[in-house]
Structure formats: C-alpha cells, structure tokens
Amino acid sequence: MRLLWKLSLVSIALMLTSCGASWHLKRAIAKNPALARDTVIRIDTTIISQSVEIRDTIFIKEVDTIQVVKNGVVVDIRRSFDTIEVDVQCPPDTIRVFKEVPMVQIVPEKKERNIALGAVIGFILALVLIRVAGRFIK
C-alpha cells in the first residue's frame, strides 16, 4: 500500500512538471519556421455610387445651347427665350479602396517560471526519497 502511495506521488509530481504549451510551440516553430512569419491580408472594398441628375430652370429671353463634357459628367445648358434648362448627367462611378492589414499568426508568450512551486515539489520529493532510502538502509 505504501509503495502504491509513493508511486502515485511520484507520478503526480512528474505530471505537474511536464512540458508546457510554450515548449510545444517552440518545437512546432523549429520544425516549420513559416508558422512564426507575419502575414498581410489585403482587403479590397468596392463602392459603386448611383447616377445623379439635377435639373434647374432660369428665365432669359434668348435662344442658345451649350454642352460641357468633363470627367464623364455631361452638362447640357439650353436657353430658349426666357427659359434656361440645365441637365447634368453623372454616370455611376466605381471607387476602390485597398487596405493592407498586417496579421501576426503566432505570438509566443514568454512565461515566467514559478521557481517557488518547483522548489516546494522538489523539497517534498527529496524528503520522500530520503525516507524511502532510510527504510531500505535499515
């Protein structure tokens, strides 16, 4: 019964001092260094504006027609006696916004070791080993 208790105590101590997640992460990075490399994700946003038409009227007493085309916007000004008609046609436009967002894939944490817990467990194990060795020597 005492031997079973001692074996369980030793196995619990080994489980508490086994490899942590940071050790496994370091091993994975050592096997494949591409895991620790930063990546950049490119986000493509497309904005499509709608067509806008504005009409206005001014009264004058002569006849004339003017058409202005600039950057795809067509402005028609028609003057007929005492009336001015203004037609503006703005075609739909596509606006693209590119934004690059840097992404960090893996951030290994540097964990501070808790030496006090290891010292207490080591001290208890040393006491158990001294006691076991003392029984075998007698």
Each residue of 56-67: pLDDT tens digit?
665 666 677 888
Q: What is the largest CA-CA distance in the chain?
A: 130
Q: How confident is the model at residue 117 (pLDDT cuts 50, 70, 90)?
A: confident
Judge whether 118 and 17 are in contact, CB under 8 Å. yes
Whole-number Å distance between alpha carbons of 13 and 15 = 5
Q: Which pLDDT does position 61 carry in this prediction?
A: 61
Res. 23: pLDDT tops 80: no
- Tell me what the mean pLDDT of segment 109-124 comes to: 74
Q: Which pLDDT does position 67 carry in this prediction?
A: 85
Whole-number Å distance between alpha carbons of 88 and 52 = 8
Q: Which pLDDT does position 70 carry in this prediction?
A: 80
- Mean residue pLDDT across the chain: 76
Res. 87: pLDDT tops 80: yes
Name residue 100's beta-bridge partners: 42
